Structure 1
Amino acid sequence: MARLPADVYAELDRRLAPVDAALASRYPGDRDGRQPVHTVYVPADAFRAGLAGEWGAAARDALEAHPPLPFDESLRARVESKLDREPIEDLRIDFEDGYGVRSDSAEDAAARAAAAALRAEQAPPFVGLRVKSLEGATRHRAIRTLDVFLDAYGGLPPGFVVTLPKVSVAEQVAAMAVLCGFFERAHGLESGVLCFEAQIETPPAVLGVDGTATVARLIAAADGRLTGLHYGTYDYSASVGVAAAYQSMAHPAADHAKAVMQVAAAGTGVRLSDGSSNVLPVGDTAAVQAAWRLHAGLVRRSLERGFYQGWDLHPAQLPTRFAATYAFFREGAPAAWDRLTAYRERRASGVLDEPATARALAGFLRRGQDCGALDPDEYDRAILETV
């Protein structure tokens, strides 16, 4: 028989109600909706209407010019269909490193041209700008470029996000969140609609001077506007002293930074993206095939570690991006579905799964469908949405 009086329950509720509210606010769970499998960065002066289609065609040309296929033949139709239909899932028009320092008039013109080009065609499902950093030397230019773009576009493109590079401290994220509010009011946008992602490419962004994980502070400082953390492979590697020949997404220094990002972002709704490979599939067939093998292996490695997005820098990286992603989901889907249905039906199987794992299994299958690795009718989406 229970012996504790009712006021003990009330006392515990009183003590922990603020904690409950804080945890619910800080850790709302995964963000709803599709996450792109990659982000393609294109210098602002190279962006134009029709670019996505050009990248898809160039990727197809590379496959024809450098056989054999860099993936299993069973994936050919699925990858080629993707290259024709949606070669770029997430496009970032770059006004930072890929664009460089130009005159104010030139960058203003490039911002207006980017807006015009996006309005002229059906853009990829996710688009955005990478502006310059909010460090002192480039702060005003970063603000002005976004201001000019929004004015020229006349609102926000669907799926729009701003990439903020070289974030080092929480105050920069907090300032960006405030700036988004200013932009919304100035351009007549709905409150809260303008969001941004932060690039983790400096050591202070991972570990602060007080020994704490800065990335956790970045998320807390964003006032709900931070949608993603993107690892910057080469800036970060150089900053911690890794020699150029050994800078890689697979370096132990990269794994450490990304592990800290992963723990800090878990349950917050802030998504993660791995970086890029700068070994491009160009040159003769031997060089292209070697770059494809490297890229496919890195994409697979990221997926296995829970990073479902990465950067692509060249059209010929698209085949291995999609092939490695599709292989990952197609290989894992049958076992994931079997485990999920066994969990739902409470029948015995070789694996005893808990609710958190069931949610992960459903999430795995939803991701596979969202990116095109799995067909919509292969697994019952209604079931996946209710787990």
Structure 2
Amino acid sequence: MADISVRGRLALRAAAAASWASQKAGRGKGSMIGGLIALRIDPTIMTQLGRGRRTVLITGTNGKSTTTRMTTAALGALGPVATQADGANMDAGIVAALSAHRTALAAIEVDELHLPHVSDALDPAAVVLLNLSRDQLDRVGEINMIERKLRAGMARHPDAVLIANCDDVLITSIAYDHPHVVWVAAGSGWAADATSCPRSGEPIVWEGAHWRSTGADFQRPEPDWWVDEGFLYGPDGLKLPLHLALPGRANRGNAAQAVAAAVALGAEPERAADAAATVREIAGRYRSVQVGEHTARLLLAKNPAGWQEALSMIDPAATGLVIAVNGQVPDGEDLSWLWDVRFEHFEGTQVVAAGERATDLAVRLTYAGVDHTTVADPLRAIASCPPGRVEVLANYTAFRDLNRDLEATR
């Protein structure tokens, strides 16, 4: 703790005491309360904890937690890596992670709104920019405004290497003028929030995988890294097998960016790819659990782009699909986004609408022409499906509450 000021040491001791008390009181791990107290006592503690570290920041609307886990694994060959175990990606969670692990390397998940000031505090060696799409408008705001803030934030860190998804128009705009960019073709399954150029306002034209602005000198860069169904490709003719434990094309793109970030910090590509491929579960996502006569696989989605990607992972051979939707503050209380998601392609699968807002979802499914039943309680919804394998897709608090209820039944 040689680089920590006296006030900073006091802040960390108080944080540790608060975390211990929270754990003893049965209120969780206590990392968030510890981080909040540390910041209240010394607002510069994040900067102090970041000194002397080589830090990779990971941000985007979707895939942050998964890519952070993959980046942590890929960096592991270089030494121990500080990271968040619980996905707490705002200031208090970041401080808690950095104070718990005094390592020379860090892979830190960051909420996109917090990226500019967290970058200022930690002076990252690299920043992974995944994707940018509409999320909770009541909290996040309009997406073009976020793009401009992130672009200005990254401009303040010209020495950082940006690992940027060139298939995402808004992410490309953030990184386009930066002096150190590694472009990754990580895919973009959702283009509804980037139909116009973020720099000129004119339309974006897509020609296959390539896109360009009709009103500015702005177009998809040539990627340094890209993936297909079996391999990861990189600079100088690099070609590596990539067999992920996690499903979905989006996770292949996440892995490509994680490996590119680790290589930018000096990791061997082969070892980084092998390590990233071992990630199997992130805070309960993608895991399968036995629920009576059913094997339920749990998937999480939080916004239209995430829902569309998660729906593409649904196994059509499953005996049932439970879709659980809440509308609490962490989810966003406005569920009008349900009408942006394509639910129309479920034939032959028994679909059950569940969650606190099951009736809102049921209306959307009706208009989509999806035969379904409505069972508000997700556990009972699973039980209502025919015996066998059930896919469960839930938004944030519905997913959290279902995991809590599953633990209570054990």
Pairwise same-fold verdict (TM > 0.5): no
- Give the shorter-chain TM-score range: under 0.3
More strand by share: 2
Q: Tell which has more relative contact order, 1 or 2 (C-alpha 8 A, sep 6+).
A: 1
TM-score by length of 1: 0.23
More helix by share: 1
TM-score by length of 2: 0.22
